[in-house]
Structure 1
């Protein structure tokens, strides 16, 4: 898969990564996308001014921040659409009535771009195979034809908006190579930083500087996490779907919640499960402390009673 261009996450520039992974090259930079966003802002300002520059609506518009970009590197769907228009490409909302009436099998499309809140990523066909080119992954992830529809359905369930890419994508080396050969993936890519996070978790648990109670608490919490994870995995249809749910949930962690004009603003089912998990952990930890306190109180009471009896017992 060395021939596949895969731009990894840098800051909050996932819109740039999404476009470049789609086009398979360094076609757009933050400066170029910012120029498109500023042009859109100016066009919106001119339209608002047509109603009168002295109106309350116009003054309010001028005071509002740009809806097409922000300082973190976020860019709106309008910016992405205009950037793709440079290459003669257009986007159609996957679950729109217009598209659904066409009844096209997803495997016959060329590419999709997906958005949830501030995160954008590309799913593209190269040769005869599909790949998840999410910039949060350490590398491209192979998606089988039979799994593609389930993959997209799962994204929609999680609250993602999906857009179909229409038009002729630029030629790329990976597409040319994969037309004459197929690749197999023995091990799926992980999320960036996942290995480091696991190592730190192990180090914190085994750190000799931790007290016995802290280590015990970490072990108890880890067991609860494992039990909850197993219970969720048991409800999944297949291993791939379970991996996908975990990846999507992790990819959304740490995001803020500004408005995005991407179509769907539905809250993710994965986010609710995370909230329930945190609440369940707090409840069980409290129950654990209550049990420990009850056992400690019973022990002290028994010891005090034994000492009193031994002090009043008459000698033989």
Structure 2
């Protein structure tokens, strides 16, 4: 992971971070991207001037702010496209009719850039593995081949625009290393600032506490500790529910059927291993509802069993009266 270039968020320069994480190096600065944006602005001004510099449309255009950049550090898709053009790369809209007709499995691509409102980030293959290089994360996030399609489908559901990168990306150290070895990731990276937020939320032992001593918790602190523990349990269940929702969303898109049609739901289950071939079976809306209900029932039973076991352990660990 150390060899992977991962530029973290600074201000609103996510377009710069997206490009540099894609190209795996400090290839673009705000100054260089601003120069591209100004060039695009000038080309647009010249086209508007062809209709006459005395027209109302031209005067209105001059009064409007640039659509290619702003003072916060935002850059448009046109700026990103032109910046990639310097390296002989082009972008293709992932969900466009032309691209979808090619029926290319996402794992056979090289990289994607994703945009929602004013945030850009890169998903790229390095060696034989995929990584989420979002600048809002504390580090690269490993994405398995079987999960990649689900991940992209979830982004689309959340309103992201996804673009496929076409062309030869420049060579980089991480790609060379990961061609001969694979990495494992035991813990997913967190959002920047998440650790600090959790640290502030959890009561800390004072500096005066001696090694081995435990600071006594008053009633409010004890309730907070229990609430945090319960919250973590709920987050684990919600993560599994989120995976189910991603699978359902992908199933709606897998067969090219209209997801708004109750009878056109297709379930896709990805095979384990290097490929991502799917076995499809047609499900009715009622059958899908029953499967979801069965899933949530199992989660409830597991939670009840866990609570019962915990209560039994606490009872057994109690002190026995003197004989």
CA root-mean-square deviation: 2.7
**Structure-1 residue corresponding to 2:287:** none
1:236 shift after superposition? 2.7
* SS class of match (1:82): helix
**Structure-1 residue corresponding to 2:242:** 236
1:169 shift after superposition? 0.3
Residues in 1 aligned to 2:195 and 2:100: alpha-carbon distance in whole angstroms:
40
**Structure-2 residue corresponding to 1:62:** 62
Residue deviations 1:251-291, cap 9 Å, x none?
xxxxxxxxxxxxxxxxxxxxxxxxxxxxxxxxxxxxxxxxx
Q: How does 1:45-60 map to 2 (within 5 A)?
A: 45-60=45-60
Q: 1:63 to 1:214 in 2, by over 3 A?
A: farther
**Structure-1 residue corresponding to 2:182:** 182
Residues in 1 aligned to 2:238 and 2:140: alpha-carbon distance in whole angstroms:
26
- How many pairs does the alignment contain? 235
Q: Flag the structure with more relative contact order, 1 or 2, with Cα contacts below 8 A and sequence separation at least 6.
A: 1
1:202 shift after superposition? 2.3
1:95 aligns with 2:105: no
**Structure-2 residue corresponding to 1:256:** none
Residues in 1 aligned to 2:180 and 2:165: alpha-carbon distance in whole angstroms:
24
Residues in 2 aligned to 1:95 and 1:143: alpha-carbon distance in whole angstroms:
20
Whether the 8 Å contact between 2:129 and 2:143 is mirrored in structure 1 is yes
Residues in 2 aligned to 1:78 and 1:224: alpha-carbon distance in whole angstroms:
46
**Structure-1 residue corresponding to 2:136:** 136
Residues in 2 aligned to 1:227 and 1:186: alpha-carbon distance in whole angstroms:
19
Residues in 1 aligned to 2:162 and 2:227: alpha-carbon distance in whole angstroms:
36
**Structure-2 residue corresponding to 1:302:** none
Residues in 2 aligned to 1:110 and 1:230: alpha-carbon distance in whole angstroms:
31
* SS class of match (2:130): strand
Residues in 2 aligned to 1:53 and 1:217: alpha-carbon distance in whole angstroms:
70
1:201 shift after superposition? 1.9
* SS class of match (1:28): coil
Q: 1:21 to 1:213 in 2, by over 3 A?
A: same
Residue deviations 1:88-125, cap 9 Å, x none?
00000000001000000000000000000111000000
When normalised by structure 2's length, the TM-score is 0.67
1:188 shift after superposition? 1.2
Residue deviations 1:116-155, cap 9 Å, x none?
0111000000011100001111111110000000000000
Greater share of residues in helix: 1
**Structure-1 residue corresponding to 2:252:** none
**Structure-2 residue corresponding to 1:193:** 193
**Structure-2 residue corresponding to 1:41:** 41
1:171 aligns with 2:171: yes
**Structure-1 residue corresponding to 2:210:** none
Whether the 8 Å contact between 2:202 and 2:225 is mirrored in structure 1 is no
**Structure-2 residue corresponding to 1:108:** 108
Structure 1 gaps of 5+ residues are: 207-211, 242-316
* SS class of match (1:17): helix
Q: 1:158 to 1:72 in 2, by over 3 A?
A: same
Q: How does 1:301-312 map to 2 (within 5 A)?
A: none
